[in-house]
Amino acid sequence: MTVKLVLLITTVASLLILENKFPFFRFQNSLGSRVAANFGLGAINSILASIWTIGITQFVVLPQLEFRLVAMIPNPVIAGILSCLIIDLYMYFWHRSMHRLPLAWKFHRLHHTDRSMNVSTAYRFHPIEIISSSIPKLLLIWLLGISSDYVLIYELMFIVVVALHHSNLAIPKSIDQLLGLVIITPNLHRIHHSQIVTETNSNYGSILNWWDRIFRTNNDRPDVINIQLGLTDNIIV
Ligand SMILES: [Zn+2]
């Protein structure tokens, strides 16, 4: 079993237990069937993404570039930090484009249809979005010479932070605000899943919330408990 799979299972299992014991929202509707569907979709997406990525890296032979920014940095710590920052910045703009381009939103809206968020919502994505997001990401990694070790480090952090901020775990507000100085927290991401369009179009970050602050898409509405989740035109309840 790979380190990614072990971390994913451990994180999801821990958050499922914690969010049931300490829920933020007290949902009236049953989560049961939705959780199974979301995890099922996540499993299908991860199999498709693995086949797609292996296929691309096996059969598409890209030429070695002489000048690649990250590969030229001799210090592995600096190269690793820069790699993670670049991938996270890419994820910010990818997510933002999913909301701003009408065709992209047709696929991304599936992620926003959950009216009762929990850790399984983190895996509720259309397969087209998962596959298409990997193409510019793989090109970026190749162009800049980002090593697979740095990509793995980013992906491990991504697994934990994305599962956490989709969970229904009630974190004390002061801790959420402290974490929110650096990462996208559950409260910040709940605002992103609001039915109010201006709130849905905010807090696009995956790991760091610095990009939202820099590009002025940050929203830290204080009364998160009053947020109505989902999409108003969604008939699934
Ligand atoms: Zn979104």
Average pLDDT rounded to a whole number, residues 109-113: 93
Per-residue confidence (pLDDT) for residue 236, from 0 to 100: 40
Distance, CA 109 to ligand 1 centroid (Å)? 7
More confident of the two residues 204 and 63:
204
228, 195 Cβ separation under 8 angstroms: yes
Whether the predicted pLDDT of 234 surpasses 80? no
Average pLDDT rounded to a whole number, residues 216-220: 95
Other Cβ atoms closer than 10 A to 201: 15
Distance, CA 189 to ligand 1 centroid (Å)? 9
Whether the predicted pLDDT of 237 surpasses 60? no
Average pLDDT rounded to a whole number, residues 77-91: 96
Dihedral of the CA atoms 218, 124, 146, 70 (nearest 10)?
A: 0
Per-residue confidence (pLDDT) for residue 34, from 0 to 100: 81
Distance, CA 69 to ligand 1 centroid (Å)? 30
Distance, CA 64 to ligand 1 centroid (Å)? 35
Average pLDDT rounded to a whole number, residues 195-218: 96
Listed by start position, the domains of the chain span 3-226
Distance, CA 3 to ligand 1 centroid (Å)? 27
| SS3 state at 97 | helix
pLDDT digit string, tens, across residues 9-36: 999 999 999 999 999 998 755 566 688 8
Distance, CA 75 to ligand 1 centroid (Å)? 35
Of 75, 92, 84, whose CA–CA distance to 151 is shortest? 84
Beta strands in 13-59, from DSSP E residues, in sequence order: none
Per-residue confidence (pLDDT) for residue 33, from 0 to 100: 66
Whether the predicted pLDDT of 141 surpasses 50? yes
CA angle 231, 234, 237 (to 5 degrees): 100
Distance, CA 117 to ligand 1 centroid (Å)? 13
Report the range of poorest mean pLDDT among 44-48, 89-93, 154-158, 230-234. Answer: 230-234
Q: What is the pTM of this model?
A: 0.89
183, 208 Cβ separation under 8 angstroms: yes
Whether the predicted pLDDT of 116 surpasses 60? yes
More confident of the two residues 105 and 30:
105
Distance, CA 60 to ligand 1 centroid (Å)? 30
Average pLDDT rounded to a whole number, residues 62-90: 86
Quickly state the pLDDT bin for 235 (edges 50, 70, 90): very low
More confident of the two residues 34 and 222:
222
Distance, CA 98 to ligand 1 centroid (Å)? 7
Average pLDDT rounded to a whole number, residues 168-193: 96
Distance, CA 31 to ligand 1 centroid (Å)? 20
Whether the predicted pLDDT of 164 surpasses 60? yes
